[in-house]
Chains A and B, each alone.
Chain A
Amino acid sequence: KAGVTQTPRYLIKTRGQQVTLSCSPISGHRSVSWYQQTPGQGLQFLFEYFSETQRNKGNFPGRFSGRQFSNSRSEMNVSTLELGDSALYLCASSLEQEETQYFGPGTRLLVL
């Protein structure tokens, strides 16, 4: 089976812009979670989608949003980018909630 794929792998944006990241889960997986990884804060949970519904949300501002499509693919959007949004954004998928999460390679976002 193909693993979790994320596109694009690298992005450079400027402050104030918005960005959309995409994640395709492992075939058959219905749960998709997003995490932000930074050197200072480590790995932090953004949100989780299951069957097109947001089931859990982390402590991030409303500028961070996401959605999941009927084929379980997910996108996350960050509006009005700030320098502090520079990070590695990781997507993970699992069969159901509470199952093992498998991670993609991440999208590295640099905000200038």
Chain B
Amino acid sequence: AQSVTQLGSHVSVSEGALVLLRCNYSSSVPPYLFWYVQYPNQGLQLLLKYTTGATLVKGINGFEAEFKKSETSFHLTKPSAHMSDAAEYFCAATGANSKLTFGKGITLSVRP
């Protein structure tokens, strides 16, 4: 069975600092990988996705993620955090069917 691991439950960074949110997947076959963001009292918004091809994926709001098959990782980064980035971030994977398997999520706080 597929699983997605997001280490830690909370990350705090200063405004302007690098954001790094880690995600590892467990699958014998590289799945499709996604990062979603959830703001309070809202649904999930797609940040970016990896299906095939280029391993460095650029998403919205300046976020990007790199698929590393050798490390089974798909970490999310942003060079410079903004106050508006404060939210909960979910890494997810899907395989042959359309069932999304989510990580536990990680809350990002941005300090002024």
Specify which chain A residues have a CB less than 8 angstroms from the CB of B46 in the assembled complex.
Answer: 100-103
Binds B, one of A13-21, A41-49, A70-78: A41-49
Does A103 lie within 8 Å of B36, measured CB to CB? yes
0/1 interface trace, chain B 92-111, chain A, CB 8 Å (1 if under): 10101111111111000000
Specify which chain B residues have a CB less than 8 angstroms from the CB of A48 in the assembled complex.
Answer: 97-99
Does B98 lie within 8 Å of A31, measured CB to CB? yes
How far in angstroms is the closest Cβ of chain A from B13? 23
Closest to B36 in A: A103
Compute how far the CA of A67 lies from the CA of B69 in the bound complex, rounded to whole angstroms.
37
Within 8 A of B (CB), among A79-112: 90, 92, 94, 97-106, 108
**Number of B interface residues in the complex (CB < 8 A):** 23
Chain A contact residues (Cβ within 8 angstroms of B): what range? 20 to 34
The answer, yes or no, to whether B44 is at the interface (CB within 8 Å) is yes
Does A35 lie within 8 Å of B100, measured CB to CB? yes
How far in angstroms is the closest Cβ of chain A from B58? 15
Specify which chain A residues have a CB less than 8 angstroms from the CB of B104 in the assembled complex.
Answer: 42
The answer, yes or no, to whether B90 is at the interface (CB within 8 Å) is yes
Compute how far the CA of A55 lies from the CA of B103 in the bound complex, rounded to whole angstroms.
23
**Residues of chain B having any CB pair with chain A under 8 Å:** 32, 34, 36, 41-46, 49, 90, 92, 94, 96-105
Closest A-B pairs by Cβ, 10 of them: A43-B102, A103-B44, A103-B43, A97-B98, A105-B43, A45-B99, A106-B43, A56-B97, A42-B104, A56-B99
